[in-house]
Structure 1
């Protein structure tokens, strides 16, 4: 058996939509079981997202259910509760009362040795054919009528913030029951608890308590191993420890207790004042101080308190895994769904260690299973906001499958279940080989910084080094945008299309800055013809064609394209001309700018003088923008770096060149999106 999905409703940041976490799918789970070499990466579930979006809430919810903990008002989504209270205020008849819901999907393997007695009450006829079932858990009020009565009383008595506070207090004092239902909505009345079906070992982010954490962790493991060994060999360890205590107590009594009591007799009678010193050795005390953890580096033993926090964190996780493998007998692995969750393992780890994290854990689990010869079918769940661990997961497993991206939308947690078939959809119009190549490109290319887009507040895609260099400068100077984490990616337009489905899924505001790429004849290229209108002109830009209904003509193209969370910006008319690239648009927008002209003459002195001649009004610069752009084609890095240098050292801000209008419009759109969402 394995955990297939978990759908959370109204719990903390979760609402009732986009709230389903998908774990390992059946096919990859079966492949993992059949594989000769152990590789947990394809079956590891990654829950990834920015801070405070609800990642840890998922494991916390499971823990509360498994440990039969009470649910309080703080466990409910406050937006949900406020909406309920507003409905109560409007209507005298209360229909819905507060509830939490957890819908758990369990996969059942064909021809497995799993003991399914735990789940028989939840099985309906359809489940047998589908090899899966659902368990619906609802946390519901024990007495709804009393709750409704009390709600009406507090509405009459209180108002405003105080009313909501009293509403929370009412929920806290109300009795809630945890009820189980099968997929058909029928109540399961048997003596069932979810902890009979699911076992969870949660490794927390803050598992380093002090300088002796590693010693204590490994002492526990050694203690368990020795105790199991003694029991296996029929040794009565407690009786032997008792004999040691008796002998030590006798020696202490002879050497110390008698002398102390004789001294005390001079103060008070023996009947009133005596001491007894005795040995109190136990197996736990013996083992707790048995281990001294040291780190060996080049034959030098380094004390535990000098061990780097990153390595300590990794070793604590490994110690927890060893402890987990040691303590559970093999039969429990076949009667339960076994989960191991690791919360934010990146804490204290440097980027390279994060990058190798899943490989290291994979190697550890593989080694443990071989040494113990156990058939462990545990699923690994990792919550993280590390782009390096995300990248490690994608490359170790060679797939986007089993990645849950979590964000916040309208005050509710929003889950996006990533999958290869969603990111690069299968379709009749999509050539099979092209699709495979695009998917391969995306997996490989995401390694180079692009995995950061999962954690960005906004994304800007550009197609050239000049845009990338200057946009970073301008955003840093923007008093609004410099407060957000905005990632800028320089990806060629045709290849950038591969990312578009992923961008839509992530719902991160994205500005795509592309070029008109006006098609010119050879004669027009040779004569550097300026383009003053778009009549009968066509584009070679694949992005524009895709989002303009595959229409390549430019004369009917709108000034920008907005699709879902994407804004596509490209050149518009400037000073009577249409630029075909960012550099040309920048020149047309700032042809009179002294700073820009100083950069042009520095980078292309000969061409600049040929064009400008005696023109002191810089009209020739405007009229030869396309020629300048073509001549800069092989010097774009020099142009961008020289311009950035001048911008940084300039004393007067008035000399700063303006961004082309199409980019300014895109930046305004991005700013509005960010301010609105935050």
Structure 2
């Protein structure tokens, strides 16, 4: 039995989002505040029965819109307000939470005895159960709850002279008070319910209690805020507790622990502890009690001590007496002697192992066993993250009777996970969007030729993990270019906004940028700029733009995006020039506003490389401009740039200077970055690209 998918609507920032789960381990990756914790909190309530939903768990935008509807109705009068509440379609506006869970099973191997009562679809080709959890209001309770708020809302309308809900000022004290009252009414008139259903969720039947639903799941969630401490006064003994939890899942535990209470009592008797406590402590006390009782004629019995030791007492005694120690340099060290990362690794291993043993227990074999680990990378350096996730993936696959879900913002964990396992949580203006990379892999990669698949695998292996947490993407051709862009963003005043963004840099060479578009732009919807070179056919007599215009592009990326559709041929330099926007200085990739391409043109002297563009910008001349060797030496001394001057010809062009410096590109770039001319030397196409990315 396994969770196939979970659909969530109306919970915090999760609106109409579906998560497909793997049979083994599913990795839920996302940046901070992308919705990972929200999802786990919801699962704790729905599957784990941990707590109840609150007003804050309902969609903030839905709560705001509902209040606006109430205010607009109240402005029209009490009859209109009442009509809103009694409208048969009103529940489309009232905030609620809906969670749909599909539980799949293997008809040949799975025992469905616990689920059999909830089988709605008798189609032999289908092998799933469907459940729906709702947190919503009922008509009578909703009308009663909100009818009582009319006078409060109307008073606010009159006091503030609102003529429509748009006049209300969100964040004002009046508005906040109304929102709090509406939220309280929402929670008071809403209740959780669970149904079992058919595949379409059009035919639903209530389950007897929500507990009946939760009994179908063996669920555990391990929080990111784990109680670990590496200070010297650490007394928490968290590892002790986890060690005992793992041991309790062992089949021999009950047999051993059941013997301990009687053994403890025997030890107490053997050591004459009862005699000592009775003789020394209670003798005088009983004398006092006897004296008091004689004064009021009441007979009091003597006190005596007995010992009652249960299994719970025994476990508590073991936990308090046991110490987790490390052996270092031949001497025992305390639990607090190790760093948080090491303790966290052990803690998570014990949590996972405890759950694995629990899933193997007879009573849980017929349930859905799901463990969720929140941000296991906390306190761990990359090597530890790698060791843990490899072990977890291997262990879950080995056991086979449970599922695991891991939330993370670790590039290392993403890198070690298969693309099919990844679900990416993206924080967007409309809320949280979940990207299923198994679906992407199936649709974009799986049916491609073997050679293309190998190319995808290689490209994504080296660049992929960083993308999932990025705000913006820069695709570039060479390593020296990345050095330049990073230094420029750090130094240029106009690019301060980019310094607050997480930028993923992807080395795509000159021919592979378009391969990333389906993932980066179409699927992840990341704003992306591709900074590439104006590669064109070589022309020995090139000396003007007129001669350059008809030459065809040899840049695979530009050819892919701006191909001449009529001629079915690469675009000419003139075609590419016309694709550049006069407003932004970049060329938008067709059919999207999220991707743009920047390349050299007239302001950069029609350069073919970044180095040519920098020299052309500094000299304010096209790349076919020639200078005498003397002038080149003078320019080199004055600019501080490191470049070679060829022996021939006597008056080299910019293109020839760069060609002779081809083996010194890194030295050239360092000399530029460390020079005060950095900002002044920015080729316009580079600055336009970064400005557009920041917009």
Provide TM-score, normalisation by structure 2.
0.79
How far 1:600 sits from its partner (Å)? Answer: 6.8
Q: 2:627 aligns to what?
A: none
- Structure 1 unaligned blocks of 5 or more: 30-42, 370-374, 395-399, 613-619, 648-652, 673-678
Q: 2:454 aligns to what?
A: 437
- What SS does the corresponding residue of 1:315 show, helix, strand or coil? helix
1:331 aligns with 2:362: yes
Q: 2:13 aligns to what?
A: 13
Q: 1:81 aligns to what?
A: 63
Q: 2:561 aligns to what?
A: 547
Measured in 2, the distance between the counterparts of 1:80 and 1:139 equals: 14
- What SS does the corresponding residue of 2:416 show, helix, strand or coil? helix
Measured in 2, the distance between the counterparts of 1:218 and 1:46 equals: 26
Q: 2:255 aligns to what?
A: 230
Measured in 1, the distance between the counterparts of 2:256 and 2:288 equals: 50
Q: 1:163 aligns to what?
A: 178
Q: 2:432 aligns to what?
A: 413
2:408 aligned to 376, 384, 391, which one? 384
1:208 aligns with 2:227: yes
Measured in 2, the distance between the counterparts of 1:391 and 1:592 equals: 45
- What SS does the corresponding residue of 1:646 show, helix, strand or coil? coil
Contact 1:245 1:280 in 2 (8 A): no
Q: How does 1:178-197 map to 2 (within 5 A)?
A: 178-182=193-197, 183-191=200-208, 193-197=212-216
Contact 1:357 1:389 in 2 (8 A): no
Q: How does 1:605-616 map to 2 (within 5 A)?
A: 605-607=644-646
1:105 aligns with 2:102: yes
How far 1:317 sits from its partner (Å)? Answer: 1.2
Q: 2:188 aligns to what?
A: 173
Contact 2:5 2:21 in 1 (8 A): yes
How far 1:266 sits from its partner (Å)? Answer: 9.6
Q: How does 1:287-436 map to 2 (within 5 A)?
A: 287-297=318-328, 300-328=331-359, 330-363=361-394, 376-394=400-418, 400-419=419-438, 421-422=440-441, 425=444, 432-436=449-453
- Structure 2 unaligned blocks of 5 or more: 74-79, 158-167, 169-174, 294-299, 581-586, 622-631
Q: 2:496 aligns to what?
A: 479
Which shows bigger deviation, 158-167 or 311-320?
Answer: 158-167
Q: How does 1:142-153 map to 2 (within 5 A)?
A: 142=138, 143-150=141-148, 152-153=150-151
Contact 2:327 2:333 in 1 (8 A): yes
Q: 1:219 aligns to what?
A: 244
Contact 1:223 1:284 in 2 (8 A): no
How far 1:644 sits from its partner (Å)? Answer: 1.4
Q: 2:162 aligns to what?
A: none
Task: Identify if the C-alpha distance between structure 1 residues 376 and 422 changes in structure 2 by more than 3 Å, giving closer, same or farther.
Answer: closer
Q: 2:642 aligns to what?
A: 603
Q: Per-residue CA shift, 1:503-561, capped at 9, x if unaligned? A: 0222222111111211114xx2xx67565564322111111111114651222220112
Task: Identify if the C-alpha distance between structure 1 residues 495 and 309 changes in structure 2 by more than 3 Å, giving closer, same or farther.
Answer: same
Measured in 2, the distance between the counterparts of 1:633 and 1:328 equals: 61
Q: RMSD over aligned Cα, in angstroms?
A: 3.3
Q: How does 1:518-537 map to 2 (within 5 A)?
A: 518-521=536-539, 524=540, 531=545, 534-537=548-551
Measured in 2, the distance between the counterparts of 1:662 and 1:214 equals: 57
Task: Identify if the C-alpha distance between structure 1 residues 535 and 610 changes in structure 2 by more than 3 Å, giving closer, same or farther.
Answer: closer
Q: 1:56 aligns to what?
A: 37
1:136 aligned to 115, 132, 154, which one? 132
Provide TM-score, normalisation by structure 1.
0.81
Q: Per-residue CA shift, 1:79-135, capped at 9, x if unaligned? A: 121123223444542412221100112222130232254254352245x42323432
Q: 2:688 aligns to what?
A: 665
Task: Identify if the C-alpha distance between structure 1 residues 158 and 342 changes in structure 2 by more than 3 Å, giving closer, same or farther.
Answer: same
Measured in 1, the distance between the counterparts of 2:250 and 2:292 equals: 47
Task: Identify if the C-alpha distance between structure 1 residues 508 and 196 changes in structure 2 by more than 3 Å, giving closer, same or farther.
Answer: same
Contact 1:318 1:364 in 2 (8 A): no
1:578 aligns with 2:560: no
Measured in 1, the distance between the counterparts of 2:594 and 2:442 equals: 16
Measured in 2, the distance between the counterparts of 1:333 and 1:533 equals: 77
Which shows bigger deviation, 104-113 or 286-295?
Answer: 286-295
Contact 2:445 2:453 in 1 (8 A): no
Contact 2:588 2:597 in 1 (8 A): yes
Q: 1:561 aligns to what?
A: 588
Task: Identify if the C-alpha distance between structure 1 residues 325 and 419 changes in structure 2 by more than 3 Å, giving closer, same or farther.
Answer: closer
Measured in 2, the distance between the counterparts of 1:664 and 1:340 equals: 48
Q: Per-residue CA shift, 1:345-365, capped at 9, x if unaligned? A: 000101111123221224555
Measured in 1, the distance between the counterparts of 2:20 and 2:424 equals: 10
- What SS does the corresponding residue of 1:317 show, helix, strand or coil? helix
